[in-house]
């Protein structure tokens, strides 16, 4: 079986509009020179989050600078057309980090850490989460970084979600998920509860705001599993 290797991809914060670019970013230079051990003539992809890929090849490198030349600019075709926002209750740190990583790989556009009545842990590390999201986006071939919101209370999240698109509220009491609920390119909000489940008040608020209750079948899934399965089902084109 032939293995197809993708060119390394890097999200950057510096200007990439010129035909020749000098990369001074310490972390990126380290990855190219020390970790990947790339050589002159090899290709890589730079992107700044605008949905486009800039293909470049290496002209030369030192331990501090990598000089590249642009060989192509094109719109990234890997991004999902579906605009999915994941409102996920804050879980144990390693579990929430796993959710953020996999949701990014799947194609979610925004991740909102949700504070619910049964939320136990609140020790998320924002900068670590952003790094995990960026690395997952690079690995999966994306050109847009999902937006990471600051932790949001349940009431505020409900208010925001009801103003924008359709909202799927995952709970065992709902009907089994049907892809027909989602129209192409429609904004879809996904609510995933904590390990201890939704409170009575939260369930009532979701019904009052006419959120669509859906389930992932008869089996009881861990919260992080439900987050990824639900996101995958909704995000796929």
CATH number of the domain where residue 110 is located: 3.40.1280.10
Please tell me the distance from the alpha carbon of residue 190 to that of residue 118, in angstroms, as a whole number.
Answer: 18
Model pTM above 0.85:
yes
Q: Is the pLDDT of residue 159 over 60?
A: yes
SS3 state of residue 192: strand
Q: Is the pLDDT of residue 4 over 80?
A: no
Domain boundary among 40, 75, 110: 75
Q: Is residue 62 part of a domain?
A: yes
Q: Are residues 39 and 95 in the same domain?
A: no
Query: Could you give the residue ranges of the DSSP H alpha helices within 2-91?
Result: 26-30
Domain boundary among 75, 95, 125: 75
Q: Is residue 3 part of a domain?
A: no
Q: How far is CA 131 from the centre of its chain?
A: 11
CATH of the domain at 67: 2.40.240.20
Q: What is the span of the domain harbouring residue 32?
A: 9-75
Q: Is the pLDDT of residue 52 over 90?
A: yes
Using pLDDT thresholds of 50, 70 and 90, give the confidence band for residue 213: very high
CA-nearest of 183, 155, 168, 158 to 213 is 168
- Total tally of structural domains belonging to the chain: 2
Using pLDDT thresholds of 50, 70 and 90, give the confidence band for residue 5: low
Q: Are residues 35 and 129 in the same domain?
A: no
Given a contact cutoff of 8 angstroms between Cβ atoms, the answer to whether 102 and 187 are in contact is no
Domain boundary among 75, 99, 115: 75
For the stretch 101-154, pLDDT in tens is 999 999 999 999 999 999 987 889 999 999 999 999 999 999 999 999 999 999
Q: Is residue 137 part of a domain?
A: yes
- Residue 133 is encoded by which pair of tokens? 């999201």
- Residue 8 is encoded by which pair of tokens? 């390394």
Please tell me the distance from the alpha carbon of residue 122 to that of residue 185, in angstroms, as a whole number.
Answer: 33
């Amino acid at each position: 079986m032939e293995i197809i290797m993708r060119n390394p991809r890097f999200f950057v914060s510096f200007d990439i509009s010129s035909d020749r670019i000098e990369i001074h970013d310490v972390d990126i230079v380290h990855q190219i020179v020390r970790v990947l051990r790339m050589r002159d003539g090899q290709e890589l992809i730079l992107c700044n989050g605008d949905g486009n890929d800039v293909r470049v090849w290496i002209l030369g490198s030192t331990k501090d600078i990598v000089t590249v030349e642009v060989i192509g600019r094109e719109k990234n075709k890997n991004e999902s057309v579906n605009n999915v926002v994941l409102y996920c209750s804050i879980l144990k740190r390693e579990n929430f980090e796993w959710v953020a990583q996999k949701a990014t790989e799947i194609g979610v556009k925004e991740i909102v850490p949700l504070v619910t009545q049964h939320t136990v842990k609140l020790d998320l590390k924002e900068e670590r989460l952003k790094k995990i999201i960026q690395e997952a986006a690079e690995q999966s071939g994306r050109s847009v970084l999902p937006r990471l919101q600051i932790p949001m209370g349940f009431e505020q999240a409900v208010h925001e979600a009801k103003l924008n698109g359709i909202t799927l509220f995952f709970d065992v009491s709902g009907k089994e998920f049907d892809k027909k609920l989602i129209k192409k390119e429609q904004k879809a909000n996904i609510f995933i509860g904590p390990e201890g489940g939704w409170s009575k008040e939260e369930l009532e608020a979701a019904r009052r705001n006419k959120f669509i209750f859906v389930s992932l079948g008869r089996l009881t899934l861990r919260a992080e599993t439900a987050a990824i399965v639900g996101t995958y089902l909704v995000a796929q084109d």
